[in-house]
Structure 1
Amino acid sequence: MEEQNAELYLFDIEGTTTPIEFVHKVLFPYSVQNFKPFFSETSAEKSFAEELILASKNESEYTEEVSDSPESLTKFCKYLVSKDRKLGILKEIQGRIWKKGYESGELKSTIFSDVPPFLERIRKSGKRAAVYSSGSVEAQVLIYKYCEAGDLTVYFEGYFDTAIGGKKESSSYTKIAEKLSLSPRSIVFFTDIKEEADAASEAGVRPILLSRPGNHPQAEHSYQVIQDFSKILA
């Protein structure tokens, strides 16, 4: 059993608390199926179309001109998903679509079984927990609110997405520490990506990598690697 000298635990989602398979085989396909209905609704904000058209200017591989028609926006969003782009506007749109799916009961998120007991240990020990993911803050909250284990949002005091900065940029972790009024050295960050661990480490945050089923192999590194949270006492 290992006890970490930390005041706050910062969690990535995909490949860390949630299986990669759930994100890529459930959430992404659900958004792809619902892009057109979303853009066809009169409630779809005009700014979404404007931002997507602007974003298309930076996609040299995408040769079609993007217009504000539901068909054009849908096709471009499907392209962005196929390329696994971490574009903020795409994440926001997906978050809106997933919200409807969760609230209707069509979607229920999968969380690794060792996560809820670990979150409870963190709370009982008087420590803190937060989330940092490339998915929008809204999407993060939905994953933890509508999961098979029940509503886990009670365990997290903050959520951060790429609006604060990219996950492979050390300044992002510095900003998160400042937002939480903590020294970076009092934060432990759980991720499944070496480059994110590098950025966190550069900022003074201690990274721990998760080696979950379905996770991608990482380049050689010297960080601590765990298979799950069962041996972390908090």
Structure 2
Amino acid sequence: MTIKAILTDIEGTTSAVSFVFEVLFPYAERHLALFVQQQGGRPDVQAQLEAVRVESNEPQANLQRVIEILQGWIAQDRKATPLKALQGMIWEQGYRDGELKGHVYPDAVAALKQWHQAGYQLFVYSSGSIQAQKLIFGCSQAGDLSPLFSGYFDTTSGPKREASSYERITQAIGCAPQQILFLSDIVEELDAARLAGMATCGLVREGGTLAGHANVTTFTQIDPTTF
């Protein structure tokens, strides 16, 4: 069946893992407390702070305690949706202030542009919030890449290592699963996507093997017509 849509991960796939862990995460951690204190009155921020209280089972937590919970989640690298949302808000401010520029590999930029021009629908699925995804591509070192994409998915669609998440995404995209090619550098994610019926391709930029899937080292080696 012909591929119509391409769904890509970000970290280690379109973008360097080091950008996320050495630039974005430290930036959010440094600015978290001040951001929450200064912006805590915003309805969108309030909603995420309340979600932290619910998820931590501390409904009466004051603002300082919520900040401590969030800092603890950062230390644990916990994929908590309210933390991801708040990080996205902090990054948005950093991108807007010109302190951050999203990293996207040049080979990924070239391929994404080529695929978009060829008529493929392009989507993103990352554990980072949809807002954070839009910022990486919209404020990238290569310029605004957001016009290339038809949609974004994050942990609100489910965990990335569960087939049910990819089934939900398939329904949202509106193609048969066999018409969607999923790109990632994590074998458990590729396995889950394949269980859901998607075609898969693994990125091994630093070498190694993602067993059971086609492997490439750059986007330029990916030909959607061969899947």
Alignment check: 8 A CA contact 2:48 2:85 kept: no
Aligned to 2:162: 169
Q: TM-score, normalised by structure 2?
A: 0.91
- Deviation readout 1:41-88 (Å, 9 max, x if unpaired): 143433333221222239xxxxxx98222x322222121112111111
Map 1:47-196 to 2 at 5 A: 47-57=47-57, 67-69=61-63, 71-196=64-189
Alignment check: 8 A CA contact 2:216 2:222 kept: no
SS in 1 for 2:20: helix
SS in 1 for 2:104: coil
- Deviation readout 1:146-195 (Å, 9 max, x if unpaired): 11000011110010111111111111111111111100000100011111
Aligned to 1:17: 14
Alignment check: 8 A CA contact 1:66 1:76 kept: no
Q: Aligned partners of 2:93 and 2:4: how far apart in 1?
A: 35
Q: TM-score, normalised by structure 1?
A: 0.88
Q: Aligned partners of 1:66 and 1:77: how far apart in 2?
A: 15
Aligned length: 221
* Overall identity of the aligned pairs, in %: 35
Alignment RMSD: 2.0
Q: Aligned partners of 1:137 and 1:162: how far apart in 2?
A: 9
Q: Aligned partners of 2:179 and 2:87: how far apart in 1?
A: 33
Q: Aligned partners of 1:114 and 1:191: how far apart in 2?
A: 15
Q: Aligned partners of 1:13 and 1:43: how far apart in 2?
A: 31
More helix by share: 2
Alignment check: 8 A CA contact 1:53 1:66 kept: yes
Q: Structure 1: where are the runs of 5+ without partners?
A: 59-64
Q: Cα distance, 1:5 vs. partner?
A: 4.3
- Deviation readout 1:108-159 (Å, 9 max, x if unpaired): 1111110111012102221111111111111100000011000011110010
Aligned to 1:61: none
SS in 2 for 1:82: helix
Q: Does 1:227 align with 2:210?
A: no
SS in 2 for 1:114: helix
Alignment check: 8 A CA contact 1:50 1:68 kept: no
SS in 2 for 1:222: coil
